[in-house]
């Protein structure tokens, strides 16, 4: 391959500088450390060319190196730094480009590594052909395969995946993303996992988190511990505590729900306060609010209004509208309907059905057959209406 006179001259100057005595490790053209330097000059302003930077202190201008130094962590670079392999520095202000990668302490500006980048702190843009790793990042961090950072303020992007400890901004992982604390937007191509999220999170297959405040969407499903906001799972949503709106394509399961919950087939929870609607049914140990299910609503203690083909509970306070059957084991107070209403405990209020049965009646029954266990004689079973 034919070499140009400029390339031959530059190579000769670099070799001459490298072969110079240790006391004169560079060939400098200029005055007061300003101009053009060939070799390992420690401090320089202007253009600087060197084979390997070792223990350089500062350069202002343009610095070009070929190979990876062994020790260069006190190097302060202001301007443009380029390296065939991987330029290294302690602090960089400007633009740094490495054919293989970048390694350094702090970058204020733009850093680009052909394979990858590893820094301590970034304030600006950091791009690695395969990946990036940094401790603190403010700006945009992108890795061809993935990115890893401890603290991020800005945008974190990995075509396969991304990982961060604290994120304030936007993070995207082509396959998935994992983070500890997120304030902003978290998106995983397949899934996303986080300990704490405040903002918006989305996983095309699934989403998992411990604490979530904001909006969460899982293509297949979502799982969390404490969630407040709006949450949607293509198949289902599972959580320990939910405050807000939760929607599961098939169903929703939680320990505590405060707000609005919708399950395509069904919904189950330990405690519900608010509105719960299940395509087939809703079940809760303690329920205060409104519940509806095509099949029915069941639980321990129901307080509010409940609609379904079947209503079954330990206790009901409010309105129980059962198309076919309404049943309480302990006590009932309020209004109830059903083809058959059966109150094993005390029934206080009004029940309307074809057949009404109450072990202890303290109210009124209206129907074809009305049974009150605490009435005597002929008043125990009456047509049309019964009372006590």
Taking the C-alpha atoms of residue 344 and residue 328, their distance in angstroms, rounded to an integer, is 6
CA–CA distances in Å: residue 50 to residues 14, 37, 98: 6, 8, 14
What pTM, to 2 d.p., does this model score? 0.71
CA–centroid distance for 3 within its chain: 55
Q: What are phi and psi of 41, to 5 degrees?
A: -65, 140
Mean pLDDT, range 188-214, rounded to an integer = 78
Residue 94 neighbours by CB distance under 10 Å: 19
Confidence (pLDDT) at 7: 45
In this structure, the strands spanning 176-188 and 101-113 are unpaired
Backbone φ and ψ for 115, nearest 5 degrees, come out as -100, -55
Percent of the chain with pLDDT over 90: 44
> Mean pLDDT over residues 183-205, rounded?
80
Distance in angstroms (rounded) separating the CA atoms of residues 115 and 101: 5
**Distance between CA atoms of residues 335 and 344, nearest Å:** 16
Here the tokens at position 182 are 């997120």
Find the mean pLDDT for residues 95-106: 88
- The more confidently predicted of residues 208 and 306 is 306
DSSP state of 2: P
Measured CA to CA, the distance from residue 108 to residue 311 in angstroms comes to 65
pLDDT of residue 142: 86
Share of the chain above pLDDT 70, in %: 93
Each residue of 20-44: pLDDT tens digit? 443 348 899 989 999 999 999 999 9
* Residue 198 CA: distances (Å) to CA of 2, 134, 184, 238, 309: 60, 23, 6, 18, 40
Q: Is residue 146 over pLDDT 50?
A: yes
N-terminal to C-terminal alpha carbon distance within the chain: 110
Distance of CA 17 to the CA centre of its chain: 54
Contact 138, 154 (CB under 8 A): yes
- What pLDDT, in 10s, does the model give residues 326-377? 999 999 999 999 999 999 999 999 999 999 999 999 999 999 999 999 999 9
User: Minimum mean pLDDT among 109-113, 195-199, 353-357: which range?
Assistant: 195-199
């Amino acid at each position: 391959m034919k070499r140009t006179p400029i390339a031959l001259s530059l190579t000769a100057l670099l070799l001459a500088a490298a072969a110079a005595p240790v006391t004169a490790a560079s060939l400098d053209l200029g005055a007061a450390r300003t101009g053009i330097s060939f070799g390992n000059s420690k401090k320089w302003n202007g253009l600087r060319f060197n084979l390997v930077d070792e223990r350089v202190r500062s350069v202002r201008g343009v610095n070009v190196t070929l190979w990876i130094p062994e020790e260069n962590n006190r190097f302060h670079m202001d301007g443009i730094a380029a390296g065939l392999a991987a330029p290294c520095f302690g602090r960089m202000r400007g633009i740094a480009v490495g054919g293989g990668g970048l390694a350094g302490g702090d970058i204020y500006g733009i850093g680009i590594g052909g394979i990858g980048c590893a820094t301590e702190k970034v304030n600006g843009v950091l791009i690695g052909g395969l990946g990036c790793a940094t401790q603190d990042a403010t700006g945009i961090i992108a890795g061809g395969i993935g990115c890893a950072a401890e603290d991020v303020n800005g945008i974190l992007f990995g075509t396969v995946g991304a990982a961060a400890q604290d994120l304030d901004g936007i993070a995207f992982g082509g396959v998935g993303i994992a983070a500890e604390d997120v304030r902003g937007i978290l998106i995983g191509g397949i899934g996303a996992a986080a300990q704490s999220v405040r903002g918006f999170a989305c996983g095309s297959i699934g989403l998992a988190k411990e604490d979530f405040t904001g909006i969460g969407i899982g293509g297949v499903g979502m799982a969390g511990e404490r969630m407040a906001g709006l949450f949607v799972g293509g198949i289902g949503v599972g959580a320990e505590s939910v405050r807000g709106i939760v929607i599961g394509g098939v169903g929703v399961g939680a320990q505590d729900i405060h707000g609005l919950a919708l399950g395509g087939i069904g919904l189950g929870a330990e405690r519900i306060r608010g509105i719960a609607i299940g395509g087939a049914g809703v079940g809760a140990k303690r329920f205060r609010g409104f519940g509806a299910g095509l099949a029915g609503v069941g639980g321990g203690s129901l307080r509010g209004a409940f609609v379904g083909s079947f209503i079954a509970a330990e206790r009901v306070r409010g309105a129980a509208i059962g198309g076919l059957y309404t049943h309480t084991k302990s006590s009932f107070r309020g209004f109830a309907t059903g083809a058959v209403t059966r109150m094993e405990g005390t029934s206080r209020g009004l029940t309307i059905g074809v057949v009404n049965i109450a072990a202890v009646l303290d109210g009124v029954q209206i129907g074809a057959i009305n049974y009150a266990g605490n009435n005597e004689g002929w008043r125990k079973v009456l047509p049309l209406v019964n009372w006590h």
